[in-house]
Structure 1
Amino acid sequence: MARQRLPVRAVAAQVLQAVNDGQSLSQALPHGLAQVSESDRSQLQALCYGSCRWYHRLYSELTIRLHKPLKKGDRIAIPLMLVALFQIRHSQQADYAVVNETVEACRSLGKPHLSGLINAILRAALREGEPEPASDADELSHPQWMTEKLRHNWPERWQAILDGNNAQGPMTLRVNARQHSRDAYLAQLRQNDIAAAATAFAKQGIQLDRPCGVEQLPGFDTGAVSVQDEAAQLCTQLLDLAPGQRVLDACAAPGGKTCAILESSDNLDVVALDQSAERMQRVQENLDRLQLQARLATADAADLDQWWDGRPFDRILLDVPCSASGVIRRHPDIKLLRREKDIPALAEIQLNLLERLWTTLKPGGRLVYATCSVFPQENHRIIQRFIKAHEDAALTMPELAWGLDTGAGRQLFPEPGSHDGFFYACLSRNEHPSANQATLP
Structure 2
Amino acid sequence: MAISSARRVAFDVLRRVAAEDAYAADLLYAEIEPGTKKTDASLATELTLGVLRQQRLLDFLLERYLERRCDQLDLEVLLALRLGLYQLRYLDRVPQHAAIHESVDLVKRARKSSAAGMVNAVLRRAAAQARIGGKELEKLIFQSLASAGTAVEERLGILHSHPTWLVARWLGSFGAKRTAELLEADNRPAPLSCAVLEEEASENIAESLRESGFEVTPGQWLRGALRISGGNPAASEAFRAGQINVQDEASQMVAHLVDAQGSRTILDACAAPGGKTIILARAAGPRGRLIAGDVHEHRLRVIQHQLMRTGTTNVHSVALDARRPLPFSRGFDRVLIDAPCSGTGTLARNPEIRWRLQPEDLNEAHRSQLTMLRNALAAADKSGRVVYSTCSLEPEENEKVVGAALVGAPGWRVTATQAALAPHLREAAAAEKFFADDGFFRTFPPEHGTDGFFAAVLASG
If the length of structure 2 is used for normalisation, what is the TM-score? 0.83
Matched residues in 1 for 2:87 and 2:432: separation? 40
Which residue of 271, 279, 282 corresponds with 2:299? 279
Deviations 1:212-265 (A, max 9, x none): 333775633222222211101112321122335200111100101101111223
- Contact 2:402/2:456, CA 8 A, preserved across alignment: yes
What is the SS of the residue equivalent to 1:219? Answer: helix
- Contact 2:213/2:230, CA 8 A, preserved across alignment: no
What is the SS of the residue equivalent to 1:77? Answer: helix
Does residue 421 of the first structure (1) align with residue 426 of the second (2)?
no
What does residue 434 of structure 1 align with? Answer: none
- Contact 2:441/2:455, CA 8 A, preserved across alignment: yes
What does residue 126 of structure 1 align with? Answer: 127
Which residue of 405, 408, 411 corresponds with 2:436? 405
1:329, CA displacement in angstroms? 1.1
Matched residues in 2 for 1:183 and 1:32: separation? 30
* 2:224 maps to amino acid: Q
Matched residues in 2 for 1:70 and 1:173: separation? 39
1:124, CA displacement in angstroms? 1.3
What does residue 88 of structure 2 align with? Answer: 88
Matched residues in 1 for 2:77 and 2:16: separation? 13
Show the 5 A alignment for 1:327-338.
327-338=346-357
Gap change, CA 1:340 and 1:214, over 3 Å in 2: same
What does residue 369 of structure 2 align with? Answer: 350
1:202, CA displacement in angstroms? 2.5
* 2:458 maps to amino acid: L
- Contact 2:444/2:452, CA 8 A, preserved across alignment: yes
Gaps of 5+ in 2: 146-154, 419-430
What does residue 150 of structure 1 align with? Answer: 170
What is the SS of the residue equivalent to 1:297? Answer: strand
Number of matched residues? 423
What does residue 100 of structure 1 align with? Answer: 101
* 1:255 maps to amino acid: G
Which residue of 7, 18, 22 corresponds with 1:24? 22
1:304, CA displacement in angstroms? 2.9
Deviations 1:272-329 (A, max 9, x none): 0001110111111111111002111112112236xx2312111011100111111111
What does residue 192 of structure 2 align with? Answer: 171
What is the SS of the residue equivalent to 1:331? Answer: coil
- Contact 1:252/1:273, CA 8 A, preserved across alignment: yes
1:144, CA displacement in angstroms? 1.1
Equivalent pairs: percent with the same residue?
25
Matched residues in 2 for 1:16 and 1:262: separation? 37
What does residue 329 of structure 2 align with? Answer: 310
CA-based RMSD = 2.9
Gap change, CA 1:28 and 1:124, over 3 Å in 2: farther
Matched residues in 2 for 1:298 and 1:204: separation? 30
Question: Which structure shows the bigger proportion of residues in helix conformation?
Answer: 2
Matched residues in 1 for 2:26 and 2:261: separation? 42
Show the 5 A alignment for 1:37-436.
38=36, 42-69=42-69, 74-91=74-91, 92-129=93-130, 132=141, 134=145, 135-155=155-175, 156-177=177-198, 180-186=200-206, 188=208, 195-208=215-228, 210-214=229-233, 217=236, 219-266=238-285, 267-293=287-313, 294-304=315-325, 308-399=327-418, 400-405=431-436, 407-415=438-446, 418-430=449-461
Deviations 1:179-210 (A, max 9, x none): 744355445556767553433432411223x3
Q: Which moved more, 1:246-255 or 1:195-204?
A: 195-204
Gaps of 5+ in 1: 431-441
1:27, CA displacement in angstroms? 8.7
